Amino acid sequence: MQKIHTAHHFGLCALPSIAVLTLCASAQAWAIGTEDEIFQKPLQTEFNKFDANRDRRLTSEEVAGDADFNGRFKLADNNHDGVLAPDEYSTFKSHAQQSRIASYLDDSTVTAKIKAELIKDAGTDGLDITVETHDGQVILSGFVDTYQQSRLAMQIASGVRGVRAVKNGLVVKS
């Protein structure tokens, strides 16, 4: 009989502790939010910052300070009503951000391929050549021993897929 009473007493003491833990977990989940809310908050915060008159619509004047919308407001305005609703803003802004990331990754890949080819080639010292890429435009800089090495570096860079143009800023050591 005593054992049953102790077990029942333990259950009663544990109930407040369990309730407190549950309440804390619920409060933590509420503070953090759902996965959708977490990913949408930055764009919603930006939207609210631009919404000067708090009408839940953005005009082209309100987003004039955002480079993603310069000259492209009409593309973002899917329903062609002259203003952006939160979903139009978020969709367009998210797409613009993804495009920037893809462009950066493409440029990084081009740079890495050029560096690898320069290092692999016996006629150039790839470690003395700096390669920068932006939107497929490549700039070679640094020092080479001969004019032929400079030309070879240009040929190598021009032959890499994704390169649209190469600017040669290599300096021949005298």
CATH code matching the domain that covers 107-172, chosen among 3.40.50, 3.30.1340, 3.30.450, 3.30.70: 3.30.1340
The CA-based dihedral angle spanning residues 60, 61, 65, 68, taken in that order and rounded to the nearest 10 degrees: 10
For residues 65 and 161, what is the distance between their CA atoms, to the nearest angstrom? 35
94 and 141 Cβ atoms separated by less than 8 Å: no
Token reading at 48:
């609210």
Q: What is the pLDDT of residues 102-129, one digit of tens each?
A: 777 789 999 999 999 998 886 766 668 9
C-alpha–C-alpha distance, residues 146 and 143, integer Å: 9
Mean pLDDT of 20-28: 46
Contact 57, 81 (CB under 8 A): no
The overall pTM is greater than 0.85: no
Between 34 and 105, the higher pLDDT residue: 105
Q: Is 166 helix (H, G, I), strand (E, B) or coil?
A: strand
Binning pLDDT at 50, 70 and 90, where does residue 98 land? Answer: confident
| Number of residues that make up the chain | 174
Residue 130 reports pLDDT greater than 90: yes
At residue 134, what is the residue type? H
Instruction: Specify the amino acid at residue 16.
Output: P
Domain boundaries, the chain: 107-172
pLDDT at site 53: 93
- The percentage of residues in the chain with a pLDDT greater than 70, rounded to a whole number, is 74
pLDDT for 37: 46
